[in-house]
Chain A
Amino acid sequence: MQPFAKLLDQLACTQSRNRKIALLADYFTATPDPDRGWALAALSDGLPYSLPLRRILPELMAGTVDPELYRLSRDYVGDTAETVSLLWRDRRKGAASATGDNRSPPSISDVVMTFGTAPRDCVPRLLAETLDRLDISGRFALLKLLAGAPRVGVSARLAKTALAIAFEHEVGEIEEVWHAVDPPYRELFGWLTGKSAKPDPGSRPVFRPLMLAHPIEDEDWARLDPGELNAEWKWDGIRVQIAAIGGHMRLFSRTGDDISKSFPEIASAFTRRHCVVDGELLVVRNGDVAPFNDLQQRLNRKTVSARMLRDYPAHVRLYDLLFDAGEDLRGLPFEERRKRLAAWHENAAPPLTDLSATVRFSSFEELSAIWQGTRADGIEGLMLKRKSSPYLAGRPKGHWWKWKRAPLTLDCVLMYAQRGSGKRSSFYSDYTFGVWRDDGPATLSLEANYGSETDAHAAPGELVPVGKAYSGFTDEELRKLDRFVRTNTLQRFGPVRAVAPTLVLEVAFDAVQFSTRHKSGVAMRFPRIARIRWDKPAVEADTLTTIKALIRAPATL
């Protein structure tokens, strides 16, 4: 338990992703089986069970700590497991109040086995005995482990990436076998360390790493021939993979997370099939693709109400066929797979699915004209795929491209700036910007006051925030923005500064949607700073009416 406890301590204090990966990789290489497997489970999909510590711990503590002191401590610390780890009387040999427990600390596997097989009524006593054998960090790790979610800033994806780096494999390979193995992952580590064969999924539906596209760059066109490419619409949903075999199916997100539970209607559409397909998960009503916002209502839900199913009906638009029954099609050219997909779909006809349409074109001029129209049609852009490309894991160069519709831009006024984190912690690098409200009587706000003082013209009214961006500028521009924030601060709220509304930021974004998060009632998708308009007077920035006019109706293609 001690190495795992140390790992959790270090992860909690590390912000850099690379450093987290290095810590995890070191741990996975240095720790024997099955401890590392249980740790991996805790950091990814969880242990096979979790204990109701929220109920057990206060009862356990009642016997050792005065309830009022426990309450005051818990309120201060803010986390039950941490409070208990700090308050537990240290009984280890050599500890200040030792009463002589000199058994060595238990390993993770001891703990997982002991608590996994213990009768429920023995758990409090066992827990007390185990806590007695650990120090503060160890007690914290134990309680986090048993509660089921350590929450130490590590995603399952990050843990898998660390495994890949530790054992010099591709992360895609690990994702591919992930759903074929179970904690404590002996077969996985056996394969990674070269001691045994690659785990065989047998009759389980497993994830196959997705093939991803590159954004198309100007210089790519010269190397491309229209006749070699297949074009499709780019849909604004989430990329998914459906794997079905032997009466089981799984709906995977792009990173291999199993999201089947949130979409039972898709699950039943695929349950008795035998295939692996690639597609876009969307909310579709009467043939119309609903805005991304609607799909968001369905994500991350453990239970789905009948009302949800009715109001936000899910649909999968199919892009590709990776396996037809047991046959692996990934080595075939895209054109071939596309034909097989059409044939399979015709034959299997799973409900709530359709094929992603092919966009016909004969020249890049023609394609460009089609692309120009995507915004008006409410489509996110185009996908270009080489007809000869096999299905390759990851983001291989020279096969697939995404050609996103041109971003919208608006001139906004910088309102607030917040300190960044990690390398940027000494910079004000997160910017909240707004537009002028022109849809009602102008209220005289603090900002408007300052605006009228610093500008020659009177301010048009009140500024309302519409978005937040922390990218799109160079390091040099960041330094200039930071200097601007520090010299134009009106008010400070902890890490946030309100600045005089005098600086215009040209913000590029993909779309605007209704939102309750901002006072303005709208929010931008994917905003970034396109240009800093040091030259432009703030009064000439855009208005709320302009931005609301950009909210689009659903796509009907």
Chain B
Amino acid sequence: MAVLLLAEVNDGELALDATAKAVAAAKSLGDVTALCVGATAAAAAEAAAKIDGVSKVLCAEDAGLGHRLAEATAALIVSLAGDYEHIVAPATTDAKNILPRVAALLDVMVLTDVSGVVDGATFERPIYAGNAIQTVKSSDATKVISFRTSTFDAAGEQAAAPVETISATENPGLSEWVEDKVAASDRPELTSAGVVVSGGRGVGSEENFAMIEALADKLGAAVGASRAAVDSGFAPNDWQVGQTGKVVAPELYIAIGISGAIQHLAGMKDSKVIVAINKDEEAPIFQVADFGLVADLFDAVPELTEKLG
């Protein structure tokens, strides 16, 4: 049985953590061929070849495949699909954009955000904001799957597997890239960070978020946010943790001024240690917190930042 794994490639660079986690999830399904796609993808292909469990890498470089526009990338994957029983990817926004399109073109269902592999046809996935786990068995010939990266450990390294260059399929030319707005940051990536410090509506303003960031920097942490904090303009959209944002499971998650709505819990309740700082002792976040501090965040956060020195 063979697996085609769409590697996460951003502007020519491999997102190693997300890709290696998907490889770990897919390994038991069969021989993994990683597909690296982009306007440039050769360097990403070389990096993917060194992920333990990858037996071959296919590299497709073409201007039309830049920015991973769904139509062109899906067409390429469909052209390769005949050789594989599983087509998988880490559950990033790119994969969520592309894989359902692939599945429909193959007339099969897609399995998104899979958190567990039972066997080659049976998988677990969270539903209802993670308040239930469904085990489903696919009757489709090809299984198209995105893996929730927070539930798998990244695969290690190996001696490089062979890389083969393939050409792009004809670009349907339905969409074109205009621009990316990506804030450069020295902080670790939210979904792979060991520590995440998140702020909510209680933080009150974009300026006050500096306090959350200072604590994060002290801990070498990534910064997260609740939907309310993002909606209010305190934090950028890519910081949102939750059912409809990013799902994280760090060693330590610190929730500050966050009430703990089910949609937020969905994105962080698998964290190893959870700390909540909230002035409302009834806040639901305390039900999942290992250590809860009922306090005004404007006193507690600067003090915590100082004392963690």
A and B are partners in one complex rather than unrelated chains: no
Binding site for B on A (CB under 8 A): none
Binding site for A on B (CB under 8 A): none
